[in-house]
Amino acid sequence: MAEPTKRSSGRPRHVPQRTCVACRQTEAKVALVRLVRTTEGVFADPTGKQPGRGAYLHAQRSCWERGIRHSLASALRTSLSEADAQRLTAFFEALPQE
């Protein structure tokens, strides 16, 4: 006797959407880089699971430059220190080119 197989419901799977704080475009959550505010400062969160207030940016130079200069601090409800800006810039420089 054949084993019963799991049926698909025909409904598309839910894909979480997030907005880039620099360019305001909405994308799938996995297409953006999460940044998180912690008690030690602002860090990139590649796993997307660290606790703390988060914000998202595209992995594009224009979004990172605009985000670090303007919109990221207000989205995270904090002010970016020089160390935070350097850490985030170093993380962005290590990302693969598109």
> In this structure, is residue 2 part of a structural domain?
no
> In this structure, is residue 58 part of a structural domain?
yes
11 contacts 51 by C-beta, under 8 angstroms? no
> In this structure, is residue 69 part of a structural domain?
yes
> In this structure, is residue 41 part of a structural domain?
yes
Domain hosting residue 77, numbered range: 17-94
- pLDDT, one tens digit per residue, over 57-98 is 999 988 999 999 999 999 999 999 999 999 999 988 887 666
Instruction: Residue 58: count other Cβ atoms within 10 Å of its Cβ.
Output: 19
54 contacts 36 by C-beta, under 8 angstroms? yes
Determine the pLDDT at residue 6.
64
Determine the pLDDT at residue 10.
83
Query: What's 35's domain CATH number?
Result: 3.30.1230.10
How many structural domains does the chain have?
A: 1
> In this structure, is residue 51 part of a structural domain?
yes
- pLDDT above 70: residue 1: no
DSSP string covering the chain, please? -PPPPPPP-SSPPP--EEEBTTT--EEEGGGSEEEEEETTEEEEETTS--SSEEEEE-SSHHHHHHIIIIIHHHHTTS---HHHHHHHHHHHHHSPP-
pTM: 0.83
